[in-house]
């Protein structure tokens, strides 16, 4: 299992609909569980501190205190050097739907457990492909 934080999640109806279409691509139990357990809300009712698609997320590594900044995007739009990471990556699945203050947990590609606290969330303009 890559992303291990399946706690309380909030998804907008738009994000939920688009992510549900990705079930054909991402067939993992954990991705399905994430979608099945999410609290789905209208976009205008989503709290501003929730990680949504195309949100810029500031993280602080729990172990080292190092800060990282990512923008959550869909597969095919990733630009790791620019900080755009796929929602289907382990860190992407660990972040989607979390709120500021929550701790995301996942495993790195080498299998190392990772933990980072969501420090800030801001909305950006949608990625243009």
Residue 29 confidence (pLDDT): 78
Would 117 be classed as within a structural domain? yes
What is residue 33's predicted lDDT score, i.e. its pLDDT?
Answer: 87
Asked if the model's pLDDT at residue 3 lies above 50, the reply is no
pLDDT in tens, 18-74: 999 988 777 777 888 888 889 999 988 888 999 999 999 999 999 999 999 999 999
pTM of the model: 0.84
Q: 85 falls in which pLDDT band (50, 70, 90)? A: very high
CA distance 40 to 30: 17
Roughly how many angstroms between the first and final C-alpha of the chain, as a whole number? 30
Q: How confident is the model at residue 126 (pLDDT cuts 50, 70, 90)?
A: low
Residue 112 lies in a domain: yes
7 pLDDT tier (thresholds 50, 70, 90) = low
65-92 average pLDDT score:
92
**Residue 1 above 60 pLDDT?**
no
45 within domain boundaries? yes
Q: Domain tally for the chain?
A: 1
The answer to whether residue 23 is domain-embedded is yes
Helix (H) or strand (E) holding 13: helix 13-21
What are the angstrom distances between the C-alpha of 15 and each of 19, 50, 77?
6, 12, 15
Q: Give the tokens for residue 95.
A: 């972040």
Q: What percent of the chain shows pLDDT beyond 90? A: 60
Which CATH number fits the domain that encloses residue 114? 3.10.50.30
| pLDDT of 129 | 42
Range of the domain at 94: 10-123
> Is residue 86 within 8 Å of residue 74, measured between CB atoms?
yes
Contact 102, 35 (CB under 8 A): no
Whether the pLDDT of residue 127 is over 60: the answer is no
């Amino acid at each position: 299992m890559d992303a291990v934080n399946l706690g309380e999640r909030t998804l907008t109806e738009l994000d939920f609909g688009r992510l549900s279409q990705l079930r054909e691509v991402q067939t993992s139990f954990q991705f399905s569980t994430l979608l099945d357990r999410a609290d789905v809300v209208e976009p205008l009712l989503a709290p501003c501190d929730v990680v949504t698609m195309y949100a810029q997320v500031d993280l602080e590594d729990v172990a080292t205190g190092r800060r990282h900044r990512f923008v959550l995007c869909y597969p095919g739009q990733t630009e790791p050097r620019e900080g755009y990471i796929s929602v289907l990556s382990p860190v992407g699945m660990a972040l989607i739907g979390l709120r500021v203050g929550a701790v995301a947990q996942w495993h790195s590609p080498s299998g190392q457990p990772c933990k980072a606290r969501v420090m800030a969330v801001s909305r950006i303009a949608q990625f243009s492909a």
